[in-house]
Amino acid sequence: MLPPLLFAAVFANPFLLWGLAGASLPIIIHLLNKRKFREERWAAMRFLMAAMRKNQKRVKVEQWLLLAVRTLIIILVAMAMAKPLLESLGVIDILRGQRRHWVLVLDGSMSMDYRPNDTPRFDQAKDIARRLVKDARQGDALSLVVMGDPPKVIIGAPAFNKEQVLSELDAVTLPHGGTDLTATFRKIDEVLEASTIPRKEVVFLTDLQTASWRRPNLKGNDDGLKTILAKLEAKKAQSQVIDLGAPGGKNRAVIDLTLDPPIVTMNTPVVAKATIKNFSRDPSGTFTVQLFLGDQHADERTMSLGAGAVETIAIPFKFTSPGTTPVIVKLPDDALRIDDSRRVVASVREAINVLIVDGDPKREVFRSESDFLVQALSPDADAAPSATSDPENPPSAIKTQVVPESQLARQDLAPFDAVVLCNVASVSEAEVRALDSYLKQGGGVIVFGGDRVQADNYNRWLFADGKGILPAKIGAIVGDPAKSEAAFTFDPLGFKHPLVADFAGQSAGVQASLTGVKTFRFHKLTRPKDSAAKVAIAFAENSDPAVIEAPRHRGRVIQVATSADRDWTSWPLHQSYPPVMEQMILLAASGRFEERNVRVGQPLSQSFPPTAAGADVLVKRPGTGPVANTKLKAAGDVSQLLYEETDRSGVYSVDVGPPPPFKTAFAANPDPIESDPEKLDQAGLKAAVPGWKFLYDSDWRGLDKSAASVGQRGEFHRPMLWAVLILLIVESLLAWRFGHHR
């Protein structure tokens, strides 16, 4: 509902109002004609006086009418030259005539692709914007901003060429991301700051989706929006919100998609887990969920969802060839189509390659530090391949290579998905740099303790006061192997961590294969305060960490307090050892998988060996998008791919080099919060953006039809000039008629 308005008259050329003084000329002439004459009586005078007395009233009326018309003509001419304008003193001007700087703000959030009538709301917004541009008054300036995360200024400096503005408007495409409200208002303020036009209008064309307009919980911190709104108020910028949305929207979306395991190999079982949500207040009915591997249809399931329900559906499959393959889950199209599909990029390997660095190698079987670990990860490594292998129990996809500690410095780590240090005595500065560079490229590092580990060396180079590779500082050795009755047992902490999550819900016997492990000695590990490291397993007797996992650069580091063999623990003799070791490898290597799957708006980023710096990169955007050219840039001890134009959801194909020739792909998916069609009303918008003065209009269809009146309303000089022309004709006709009667 519009607030009450007060009207005021203003003039574009007020100094020309001095012309109103000319309105006195007809009156002066009239008064001069009434001056007294010397009377001279003669015989026929009495007949003339009698006639004049008879017509005196009619003559006076005729004279006053002509005087009024002639005076009004002069007044209208003077007023028209001064260009009078009728304006309101309310929230926003209703009748505009002064030059304006129009800032058109298009909501660029994914929800604007909602199609209630097969036409996206973003296209409706562009149509209204086109009409406003075409019908803007001559001399008005225009700017164009797309509200997004980040927002984009399409036209910043005031533009007066309507064709140029329309061309830029036609080229705008809808991003598939969210919005940064504060950053959008900041961009609007920057646009208006560069404008010298005093009258400023900001028009928002939006569906008022709640997710786009409600800021995150700032916990009392001001993100600067209040200051920006005050600056807009000081500029007397008047805002209008055109609401294109409608309550009660329906939508069904794939809000998450993961692969289990995340690192996949050929011919091994993989499960695609798709989480689907019905955002409607009504049941969804039965629909089909389709699984695609690249362009190939792989499988499908049927399901239904209740009102507001969320459900995860699992679809098993296998990859039959290596390479980078998009895995896509697709729903039938609904009103919001972008979130009807979701994708992840799987880097399918023939095997997961693991480098094991043995700090205490020996010739005897199961006497080396790494023997039990190799057996757990690759139990069939020495077996001959069999054509009749059991499909239910395929051979291990993990391939191990063992090197002694002395060869670590000379080893190329790039071909390996994970590196394991088993009781390595010490590391050099060069080895630490190599491991750090390897983590930047998404690799994983696992560090086991042991009697050869030099705590001072590890703490200096690998922990480095919490800034190094290791998530915890190594302290004194705890326990005594001679006192088996004082052994420590594992506490899986509720089986919450991915390393031990598979044991949750299992039988007591299966869980006992983990909780029944006896550890006789271990390194006391101490995490820094506010550490992001997570304890996967602790020791039940004193709650000291047994296994710690933490992200580092693009990769992951797992630190184990005890040894990988049975010198300090009985773990290698228990059935829980192989599956937990396998999960360690998969988790450590998952960094190379995660970096290929990003959210819309996040950059595509991948690290390569430093020798690849300067290599050419071709990025093909989703669909029929153009190919972008860039290069790998040197970034310390790695070369870096960084591509930031990820405003569209879909698969981005990337060709790198040569050197080295390399093909990969990335998947960008929208934020699930953008799938929620819940919207704000006028009161909700005021609460979401407190202190902002705006005019709210939900009748966008009416605005669309009457947009032609925006540029001309309020200008009265043109009607006044037409009135002058009409009065001149009337004055001539009246003068002829009155003179004819006399």
Amino acid at 707: A
The residues of the chain scoring below 50 in pLDDT are 1-8, 87-97, 383-389, 704-714
Note whether residue 74 is domain-resident.
Answer: yes
Residue 608 inside a domain? The answer is no
- For residues 567 and 545, give the distance between their C-alpha atoms in angstroms, rounded to a whole number: 19
What DSSP element (H or E) covers 654?
strand 650-656
Give the whole-angstrom CA distance, residue 23 versus residue 219: 67
Taking a C-beta distance cutoff of 8 angstroms, is the pair 712, 137 a contact?
Answer: yes
Domain boundary among 538, 564, 594: 594
Note the pLDDT of residue 712: 39
Q: Does a structural domain hold residue 607? A: no
Residues 204 and 274 occupy one common structural domain: no
Is the distance from CB of 274 to CB of 342 less than 8 angstroms? yes
Mark whether 465 and 584 lie in a shared domain. yes
- For residue 150, cis peptide bond before it (omega within 30 degrees of 0): yes
Query: Which tokens belong to 558?
Result: 């797992």
Residue 520 belongs to some domain of the structure: yes
Are both 488 and 341 inside the same structural domain?
A: no
Percent of the chain that is helix, strand, coil (3-state, to 5): 30, 30, 40
Q: Which two tokens stand for residue 667?
A: 């998947």
Task: Tell whether 602 is covered by a domain.
Answer: no
CB atoms within 10 A of CB 66: 17
Same domain assignment for residues 261 and 182: no
Which residues, listed in sequence order, are joined to residue 210 by a DSSP beta bridge? none
Contacts of 492 (CB under 8 A, 6+ apart): 500, 503, 511, 514, 515, 536, 537
Is 473:456 a contact under the CB 8 Å cutoff? no
Within-domain flag for 600: no
- Same domain, yes or no, for 449 and 498? yes
Do 289 and 369 lie in one domain? The reply is no
- pLDDT (0 to 100) of residue 221: 57
> Does residue 619 form part of some domain?
yes
Whole-number Å distance between alpha carbons of 422 and 564 = 6
Other C-beta atoms lying within 10 Å of the C-beta of residue 665:
22
CATH number at residue 260: 2.60.40.10
Find, among 588, 582, 584, 603, the residue nearest to 552 by Cα: 588
So what's the pLDDT on residue 139? 85
If asked whether residues 704 and 723 sit together in one domain, one would say: no
Same domain, 272 and 170: no
pLDDT of residue 16: 58
Peptide bond into 658 cis (omega under 30): yes
> Are 140 and 203 in a shared domain?
yes
SS3 69: helix
- 216 and 150 in a common domain: yes
Looking at residue 419, the DSSP 8-state letter turns out to be E
**CATH code, domain with 200:** 3.40.50.410
List, in order, residues 6 or more apart from 125 with CB less than 8 Å away. 106, 107, 112, 205, 206, 242, 244
In this predicted structure, what is the pLDDT of residue 215? 74
Instruction: Indicate the DSSP class of residue 441.
Output: T
The boundaries of the domain holding residue 556 are 352-379+395-594
Supply the pLDDT for residue 262: 81
In whole angstroms, how large is the CA radius of gyration of the chain? 40
Angle between helices 225-234 and 181-193 (to 10 degrees): 30
In a domain, 94, yes or no: no
Indicate if 429 and 470 belong to the same structural domain: yes
Alpha-carbon gap, residue 480 to 415, rounded angstroms: 39
Q: Which of 594, 629, 648 is the last residue of a domain?
A: 594
Number of domains in the chain: 5
Structure tokens at 508: 């007591």
For 229, phi then psi, to 5°, come to -65, -35
Residues 333 and 202 in one domain: no
Q: In CATH, what number is assigned to the domain containing residue 484?
A: 3.40.50.880
